[in-house]
């Protein structure tokens, strides 16, 4: 069963943060990660065939976003 999580966070520089996060998004079978900027927000949509993979990916994405935000 495919599970999906959508993360929407406000950002001072959403375009730069989204761009930095997209660098890490690679194609893996059963996992999809799409990140983009939308009107001052960073939107990430994560889909996975495995709930464990989904949770791990969301956790990693949040940590990477926090690091990116702290560098701006």
What is the model's pLDDT at position 50? 94
Q: Domains in the chain: how many in total?
A: 1
CATH number of residue 13's parent domain: 3.30.310
Residue 63 has, within 13 A of its CA and on its CB side, a CA count of 7
Integer Cα distance of 7 and 69 in angstroms: 15
What is the model's pLDDT at position 25? 62
Expressed as residue numbers, the domain containing 67 is: 3-71
What is the model's pLDDT at position 1? 86
What is the model's pLDDT at position 36? 95
pLDDT in tens, 22-69: 866 677 789 999 999 999 999 999 999 999 999 999 999 999 999 999
pTM: 0.87
What is the model's pLDDT at position 54? 95
Lateral strand order in the sheet of 3-10: 3-10, 41-48, 31-38
């Amino acid at each position: 069963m495919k599970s999906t999580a959508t993360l929407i966070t406000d950002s001072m520089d959403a375009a730069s943060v989204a761009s930095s996060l997209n660098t890490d998004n690679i194609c893996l079978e059963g996992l999809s990660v799409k990140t983009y900027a939308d009107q001052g927000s960073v939107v990430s949509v994560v889909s996975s065939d495995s709930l464990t993979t989904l949770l791990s990916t969301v956790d990693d994405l949040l940590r990477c976003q926090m690091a990116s935000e702290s560098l701006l």
